[in-house]
């Protein structure tokens, strides 16, 4: 099996790479690249994302043919893809961080700043928070409800179709923290920074 972690200069992704390599223990080939041919021939793709919505979309647009290749992989060929943090947010139609920016449009919805209730809640939301698993999800196999995951974000993905939501977390309001739509998966939290439970989620993705 070949798994590609897409490297499009979106910040430091070493912890993502290390956690996937730790899970597969050499039994699965892990590529870290933006090479279009490698992505096309992969069995699974991981789309990490650090920084702002706009900077990540700009990073994808900066590599000729990358967005078309990701569309072909996930939307047309329906192969498993996992978005992490801003990688999940980019599934939306539009994001409002910095300026209004068009997203990938894979899952209808928008990315807006978390309502911190006039400063009652600190932004960015950083640290461990409990997740509420709201539907059966292949990603959460053998993961207990109310597990704690590690978050770093100020913006949240608000999908139009609530049926795609697989987990939420409570921070000032109910925030979507995981989605699943057919072959497309995403986590707002960082599984690669969430200890053994995070590694279990990565393993579940590898085992799909």
HSE of 44, CA atoms in CB hemisphere, 13 A: 21
pLDDT tens-place string over residues 117-170: 887 788 999 999 999 999 999 999 999 999 999 999 999 999 999 999 999 999
CB burial of residue 83 (10 Å; 0-12, 13-18, 19+): buried
**Domain limits for position 31:** 2-206
- Active site positions, annotated: 85, 190, 192
In this structure, what CATH number is given to the domain that contains residue 7?
3.40.50.880
160 vs 27: CA distance, rounded Å: 38
The predicted pLDDT at position 115 comes to: 87
Average pLDDT value for residue range 198-203: 98
The total number of structural domains that make up the chain: 1
The predicted pLDDT at position 10 comes to: 82
Report whether the peptide linkage leading into residue 147 is cis, meaning its omega lies within 30 degrees of zero: no
Please state which of the ranges 23-27, 64-68, 104-108, 166-170 shows the lowest mean pLDDT. 23-27
* DSSP code for 174: E
pLDDT tens-place string over residues 82-122: 999 999 999 999 999 989 999 999 999 999 999 888 877 88
Is the pTM here over 0.85, yes or no? yes
Residues 6+ apart with CB under 8 A from 112: 96, 155, 156, 158
């Amino acid at each position: 099996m070949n798994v590609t972690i897409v490297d499009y200069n979106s910040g430091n992704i070493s912890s993502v790479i290390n956690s996937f390599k730790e899970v597969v223990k050499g039994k699965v080939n892990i590529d870290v690249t933006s090479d279009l041919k490698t992505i096309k021939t992969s069995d699974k793709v991981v789309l990490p994302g650090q920084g702002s919505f706009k900077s990540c979309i700009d990073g994808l647009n900066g590599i000729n043919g990358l967005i078309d290749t990701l569309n072909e992989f996930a939307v047309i060929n329906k192969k498993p893809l996992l978005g992490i943090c801003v990688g999940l947010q980019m599934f939306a139609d539009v994001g409002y961080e910095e300026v209004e920016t068009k997203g990938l449009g894979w899952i209808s919805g928008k990315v807006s700043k978390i309502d911190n209730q006039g400063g009652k809640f600190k932004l960015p939301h950083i640290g461990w928070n409990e997740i509420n698993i709201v539907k059966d999800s292949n990603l959460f196999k053998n993961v207990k409800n109310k597990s704690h995951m590690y978050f770093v974000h100020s913006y949240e993905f608000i999908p139009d179709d609530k049926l795609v939501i697989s987990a939420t977390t409570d921070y000032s309001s109910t925030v979507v923290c995981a989605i699943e739509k057919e072959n497309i998966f995403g986590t707002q939290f960082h599984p690669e920074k969430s200890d053994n439970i995070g590694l279990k989620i990565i393993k579940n993705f590898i085992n799909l």
